[in-house]
């Protein structure tokens, strides 16, 4: 296997680990603070209006 191909594979794995870590942090933050931000989202949803044809 060439060095360039090995490096490319390593880069893909590193990006995968970064994406998985970010996803876990978002999931944990949502679980931990979800009950605190729910009223804010509800208030925001009340301000959104839909304009149709």
* Angle, CA of 4, 13 and 10, to the nearest 5°: 20
**Domain of 32?**
1-53
Per-chain mean pLDDT for the chain? 85
What is the pLDDT, as a whole number, of residue 18?
97
d(CA 44, CA 38): 10
CA angle 15, 21, 24 (to 5 degrees): 140
| SS3 annotation, the chain | CCHHHHHHHHHHHHHHHHHHHHHHHHHHHHHHHHHHHHHHHHHHHHHCCCCCC
Count how many domains the chain has. Answer: 1
- Mean pLDDT for the stretch of residues 11-15: 93
pTM value is: 0.60
pLDDT range class, residue 38, cuts 50, 70, 90: confident
């Amino acid at each position: 296997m060439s060095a360039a191909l090995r490096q490319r594979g390593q880069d893909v794995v590193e990006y995968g680990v970064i994406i998985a870590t970010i996803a876990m942090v978002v999931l944990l933050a949502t679980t931990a603070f979800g009950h605190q931000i729910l009223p804010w989202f509800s208030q925001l949803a009340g301000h959104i209006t839909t304009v149709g044809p």
